[in-house]
Amino acid sequence: MENLIHFFENIPSQYRAAILVGGLVFFWIVEGIIPLFPKNYNRWKHAWTNIFFTITTVVINFAFASLILVSSDWAVANKFGLLHLVEMPLWVFMIVGLLVLDLVGAYFIHWLEHRVRWMWKFHLVHHTDTHVDTTTANRHHPGESVFRAVFTVIAVLITGAPMWLVMLYQSASALFSQFNHANFSFPKWLDTAISWVIVSPNMHKVHHHYTLPLTDTNYGNIFSIWDRIFGTFAYVEDTKALVYGIDTHFKPEENEPIDNLLKIPFQEYRPPVGAKFVEEEKIA
């Protein structure tokens, strides 16, 4: 444990970049060998669009890095946050910290983006991808990247997480997001088994189905426990029956050009065609 803490306390920027790029390349290669859906699209063109948004996400996260560091150092110095309420073994400290960071920094903000209309318009860019693969993991509008960075700061303050734990969480979050978006043909028995603990590829693919109610399920990123606890877990027997994208933006000219994707949050709102609730029930 001490070696792990020391590594993430002093992790160089190039190592963090290597984790992000290395995971992306690894899952890209594997999904090219055992794809769930046929590779009937230009993977390179598709990847470029998503890599553009990966770059904007990295830039925004870098801009928030100092605020996250200050928040973490302040919380630790003042013993502020859930992790400082009781003494616990270091391995329990780490697991509890990762669970709560994942709850606030991934699950809750993701759920909120599906409930608050103006936030949804930014998150919509992620859901417009009709060919979900590992590059989709960071297909976030810059505005959404800001939301998620802010909630990371909130999560750090709620937990009182030291920076080594924050770095571990952010590294794990990036890898798990690439993993559960990947276009894998994953053994069903294995996928089902791991989905009791972590978000598996088949579990997250349900979330990318083009219409409600499945779009509003399986919000988790690392741990599947939160979807099970809060009743947002959904299971689909045949994942090959899923259709990716969102029913309001199926036209290629809407979901492919980067310039239009950047404009989506500022375009007229379109209620989902397959809505399970009337438009007025969405928070204005």
pLDDT in tens, 231-245: 999 999 888 899 999
Rounded to a whole number of angstroms, the distance between the first and last alpha carbons of the chain is 46
Distances (CA, A) of 134 to 81, 87, 129, 239, 267: 34, 39, 11, 16, 27
pLDDT at 280 over 60: no
Per the DSSP assignment, residues forming a β-bridge with 209 are 244
Domain count, the chain: 1
- Residue 112 is encoded by which pair of tokens? 């909120």
Which strand (E) or helix (H) includes residue 132?
none
Distances (CA, A) of 174 to 39, 132, 196, 211, 278: 24, 16, 20, 26, 35
Q: What integer pLDDT is reported at residue 274 of this predicted model? A: 63
pLDDT average, residue stretch 128-135: 96
pLDDT band at 282 (very low <50, low <70, confident <90, very high): very low
The full DSSP string for 170-209 is HHHHHHHHHHHHS-B---HHHHHHHTTTB--HHHHHHHTB
Q: Is the dihedral of CA 38, 39, 41, 45 positive or negative?
A: positive
Q: What integer pLDDT is reported at residue 172 of this predicted model? A: 96
Q: For residues 244 and 210, is the Cβ–Cβ distance under 8 A?
A: yes
pLDDT at 278 over 80: no
Range of the domain at 40: 2-281
Q: What integer pLDDT is reported at residue 8 of this predicted model? A: 83
Q: What integer pLDDT is reported at residue 114 of this predicted model? A: 96
Which strand (E) or helix (H) includes residue 41?
none
Q: How far apart are CA 61 and CA 68, in angstroms?
A: 9
Q: Is the pTM of this model over 0.75?
A: yes
pLDDT at 88 over 80: yes
pLDDT in tens, 25-54: 999 999 988 888 887 888 999 999 999 999
- Residue 184 is encoded by which pair of tokens? 């894998």
